[in-house]
Structure 1
Amino acid sequence: MMVVKIGGSIQKDENDYQLIIEKIRKYAERDKLILVTSAIKGVTNDLIQVAASTEKSVEIASNIYDKHIKLLGKITDGIEFERAFRDISKLADELFRVAWSIRVLGEVTPRTRDYILSFGERMAVITLSSILRSKGIKAWGIPEPPFITDSNFGDSNILIQESEERLKKLLSNVDYNVIVFPGFIGTTWDGKITTLGRGGSDYSATSIAKVLGINKVKLITEVPGIMTGDPRKFQNAKSIQRLSLEEAIELAQLGAKRLHPRTFDPMFNSDITVEVESLYEDGSTVINGECTNEDSVKGVATLDQLKMLSVESTKIVGKIGSASSIMAEARDVGVNLIAISQPASETTINLVVDGNSIKLLTERLNGLKESLIKNIHVEDVSAISVVGCGMRKREISSKLMGIASSYDPIMISRGLSKVSSTFIVDSRNAEELGRELHSEVLKWTR
């Protein structure tokens, strides 16, 4: 058996679905499949607008319904169209009721927002399974959430052991070669729908494999695997043939493929192999195992539009809890700290955050100027990370560190198991440094 995740970016139109049908047909000839589907392209963003735009919520919900029905009308017909039309209409009625409630109440709780977002994947399950059956593939859709999760709405965690009974119950008495589940969503013990965060369908796929003891997972998307760098920034970027688990986690965290950061958690202490491949072109990346002596450096990831906020004061020197007090301010206003540094003198604390968060954090920290902080400085910065098990080898890491040092990095840090190094630099130097590091990485990448 194999788990196959179908990304939302490759579910745009009938041409995409023809390619998906061909790929699934080929896989189903060799294995029974569990398909995990994202919402079709654009629907999750539309549902976010349903939750946010109280005046237009009903209109947007109607457009989502029309999008699915029009797609089904182009690819399916007869009994398959009728069944899918009926089932999607039922879900649409639920969505309309919620949209009307939002319009009346003018507010949305995190729990309601997750419920709204779940409609994208649930409708996609009905759409995809119907399309596959209409093309002669024995497929069955199960639109119910496949997992038990905690109640952290918006970014819930899958409870692997607790989900085993639920998944096996959903699969009992289902005798089909292809079974379609929704990604991205789960349910609490008491039946409240939760979401796993953007990109959660990747996390769903590996978690299903873990729960059911399946060792093959394919993530089908629009790009040919994980690449040595963003091809929009590095024209000579190429697909990486293999990544160790540590390397993949670092690249996922740094946004190389915008994979969910917990995608690879279920792979620990297992024999699961994940392959990321494209629907449209050749090329893929296999992810499994640990670092080997043959591994070198694999890729460069960049994060732009960042801000570094530097807090300076002699009042924080030697004062227990001063750093945690400053970071608690970021936590309390919901600002994620991307990178943190402090010299041994303790006179400065540097916090790197997303550029959209800097105003909120600065305003909050200004409130500590009388008691703890003397000065606050803000700089435009970027993060350039080199990832690969080869970073453990002195001859490689010293070469790359030497290149980065010529750009006067503000901050340097090592990642998980020392398989990455991240350089925080002035944003004006980021593009040139990224290109130089990527060119060097390509010399070692096979």
Structure 2
Amino acid sequence: MTALNVAKFGGTSVADATAMGLSADVVVANPDTRLVVLSASAGVTNLLVAIANGQLDDAALAEHLGKLHQIQHNILTALGNPAEVVAIINSQLDEVATLAAQARQHSDAELADRLIAYGEMMSSRLFTELLNQRGHRAVWADVRTLLRTDSRFGKANVDLDTTRAQCQREIGGLMNDAIVVTQGFIGADSEGRTTTLGRGGSDYSAALLGEALDVATIEIWTDVPGIYTMDPRLVSRAKPIPEITFAEAAEMATFGAKVLHPSTLQPAVRQNIPVFVGSSRDPAAGGTWIRAETSSSPLFRAVALRRNQVLLTLHSPNMVHAYGFLAEVFGILARHRISVDLITTSEVSVALTLDHTGSQTNGDSLLSEAVLAELGALCKVKVETGLSLVALIGNRMSEVNGVGGQVFAAIDSHNIRMICYGASTHNLCFLVNEAEAVNIVNCLHHGLIG
């Protein structure tokens, strides 16, 4: 078991029976793969999030429930409609309909998590059946008995020690003679209530479970053959990266690369577990290995883009030669669970960027009236939207002469709203107008990467 591998499959990799079949091929091709972590089938989580919001009228709700039913039953039909699994899936669909009715009366984060979790619960049941039909002993496991979190519904924090103990107890021995299939994205608090880790959290789940089980490798299977130097849908010259360091990959994930969830690499770094990213549709195409060290460390490795950013500018003459102002600002943001990405300061102003992406439900605005009121009592507040964050990822970027000249020469015809440079040797970040973002990432890629 020293070479134990955990394989995670994203929504497109379990979108339908054909995609599940290709993913099953990947699983059985590696005898070290003893734990499989699944996302919901493509499109299912979006349907469930809309239902959980409780704002659909009768016709729209019926349409959403109908689409959920169709996705699951198309796969069941391809599997020959096995009676036991059909009964389980139908029961889960009935439970979704019941919770949907409750959400229309009163929707909250706890109810939303219970609803949204059904996507992974259903896809994992179907995939377990597929493996068993192919003659492989597969066992379904409820990840809520494995992954312990706090009660922050929608974006729960994980209790690592309890998770390790529960994983070792529940499935540690089971993997000796079976492939264990479980769910990503989901956990449970100490009272057994369903929680979720935030959108894209299935990658993170796989890494957490891998850490808890002391695996040798983690595989993330998606619909693209590895990590690219930029999203090829936005930059036609983007190219795959054969290997990349943990530090570089973490910067890319944090600043917008869609292939990995930003938290995925934390468990892998803690235990120095190599992570592979590849395409379940074409595993022969290879992919990207993420490791502590790589054979090459280029100055400019990749470009990342994250849209829907908020710029918060706080102005106060009281900042001059004063102390404690930033502590008060961050205290307010911390009380409201708002995370800050970039920060720059002047003598009387501080500018902060906040990420507005990844929320589970519509809910309140990222900057609620209560937050703005508290900040407003401290200083003058300005909020700007319609912005994107562009990150240039590389190595030794704050140590090499001439980096600034190369970068600004590549984008000299564009306006930059904010710059953050020097906090890390692996990135240089810009805040730009949304309308210019795609042009800017193309200019950076063409001028610095090729």
Note whether the superposition's TM-score is higher than 0.5: yes
Of residues 70, 73, 91 in structure 1, which corresponds to 2:74?
A: 70
| 8 Å contact from structure 1 (residues 239, 283) kept in 2 | no
- Paired residue for 2:27? 24
Equivalent in the alignment of 1:121 = 120
Partner Cα separation in structure 2 for residue 371 and residue 267 of structure 1? 41
User: Cα offset for 1:227?
Assistant: 0.8
Aligned to 2:254: 253
1:394 to 395, 400, 415: 400
**Counterpart-to-counterpart distance in 2, 1:211 and 1:380:** 40
Are residues 1:383 and 2:389 paired?
Answer: yes
For 1:433, the equivalent position in structure 2 comes to: 440
Counterpart Cα distance in 1 of 2:393 and 2:333: 28
Change (3 A) 1:355 1:268: closer
For the residue of structure 2 that corresponds to 1:382, the secondary structure is strand
Aligned to 2:165: 165
SS of the counterpart of 2:247? helix
**8 Å Cα contact 2:279-2:287 kept in structure 1:** yes
- Partner deviation per Cα, 1:11-62 (whole Å, 9 max, x = no partner): 22233223223222322xx324210000111111111122113554576445
Rounded to whole Å, the distance in 2 between the matches of 1:415 and 1:93 is 54
Distance 1:179 1:358, change over 3 A: closer
8 Å contact from structure 2 (residues 48, 116) kept in 1: yes
Pairs within 5 Å for 1:187-202: 187-202=188-203
Which residue does 1:34 correspond to in 2?
35
**3-state SS in 1 of match to 2:234:** coil
- Taking the aligned partners of 2:263 and 2:77, their CA distance within structure 1 comes to 37
Instruction: Say if 1:361 and 1:329 are closer, same or farther in 2 by CA, change over 3 A.
Output: farther
Question: 1: distance between equivalents of 2:99 and 2:90?
Answer: 14
Would the alpha carbon gap of residues 415 and 253 (structure 1) be closer, same or farther in structure 2, given more than 3 Å must change? farther
Query: 1:8 aligned to 2:11?
Result: yes
Taking structure 1 as reference, are residues 369 and 187 closer, same or farther at Cα in structure 2, changes over 3 Å only?
closer
Seen in structure 2, the aligned counterparts of structure 1 residues 421 and 58 have a Cα distance that, compared at 3 Å, is same
Listed one character per residue, the Cα deviations across residues 368-399 of structure 1 (whole Å, up to 9, x for unaligned) are 768732x8474754322111224255047345
Q: Determine the C-alpha separation between the residues in 1 that align with 2:102 and 2:306.
A: 39
Structure 1 unaligned segments of length 5 or more: list them: none
Native 8 Å contact 2:252 2:304 kept in 1? yes
User: In structure 2, how many angstroms separate the alpha carbons of the residues matched to 1:142 and 1:354?
Assistant: 34
Cα–Cα, structure 1 residues 387 and 139, in superposed 2: closer, same or farther, change >3 Å?
A: same
- Write the distance in 2 (CA, Å) between the matches of 1:370 and 1:214: 51
CA distance in 1 between counterparts of 2:209 and 2:272 reads 14
Of 411, 419, 428, the residue aligned with 1:412 is 419
CA–CA distance in structure 1, aligned partners of residues 323 and 33 of structure 2 = 58
User: Match for 1:289 among 286, 289, 292?
Assistant: 292
The question of 1:107 aligning with 2:106 is answered yes
d(CA) in 2 for partners of 1:48, 1:161: 30
How far the C-alpha of 1:176 sits from its partner, in A, is: 4.1
**Structure 1: distance between partners of 2:213 and 2:176:** 16
Q: Are the aligned partners of 1:244 and 1:289 in contact in 2 as well (CA < 8 Å)?
A: yes
Paired letter, 2:169? K
Task: Specify whether residues 364 and 270 from structure 1 end up closer, same or farther in structure 2 by C-alpha distance, changes over 3 A only.
Answer: closer
Contact 1:10–1:222 under 8 Å retained in 2: yes
1:126-184 deviations in Å (ceiling 9; x for gaps): 01111222233332222342211122211112222211222233224566442101111
Which residue of the partner structure matches residue 49 of structure 1? 50
Indicate how the Cα distance of structure 1 residues 367 and 212 shifts in structure 2: closer, same or farther if over 3 A, else same: closer
Aligned to 1:231: 232
Deviation at 1:188, TM superposition (A): 1.6
Q: Does 1:403 align with 2:385?
A: no
Aligned residue for 1:422, secondary structure, equals: strand
Mapped to 1, the partners of 2:107 and 2:54 lie a distance apart of: 10
Alignment coverage as a number of residue pairs? 433
Q: CA deviation at 1:358?
A: 8.7
Q: Is the aligned partner of 1:203 residue 2:207? A: no
- 3-state SS of paired residue (2:195): strand
Deviation at 1:431, TM superposition (A): 3.6
Question: Structure 1 residues 273 and 213, CA, compared in 2 at 3 Å: closer, same or farther?
Answer: same
1:327-349 superposed Cα distances (whole Å, 9 cap, x missing partner) = 56666777654422111x22x22
Distance 2:90 2:370 in 1: 47
Alpha carbons of 1:377 and 1:197: their partners in 2 closer, same or farther (altered >3 Å)?
A: closer
Pair 1:169–1:236, CA change in 2 (3 A): same
Structure-2-length-normalised TM-score: 0.85
User: Counterpart of 2:205 in 1: which secondary structure?
Assistant: helix
Over the matched positions of the two proteins, sequence identity in percent amounts to 26
Aligned residue for 1:278? 279
What SS does structure 1 have at the residue aligned with 2:125?
A: helix
- Indicate conservation of the 8 Å contact 1:249/1:264, yes or no: yes
Provide TM-score, normalisation by structure 1. Answer: 0.85
Contact in 2 for aligned 1:6/1:220 (Cα 8 Å): yes
Further displaced range: 151-160 or 313-322: 313-322
Distance 1:174 1:307, change over 3 A: closer
Aligned to 2:361: none
Q: Structure 1 residues 139, 328: CA separation in 2 closer, same or farther (over 3 Å shift)? A: same
How far, CA to CA, are the matches of 2:259 and 2:33 in structure 1?
Answer: 28
How has the CA–CA distance of structure 1 residues 396 and 298 changed in structure 2, closer, same or farther, with 3 Å as cutoff?
farther
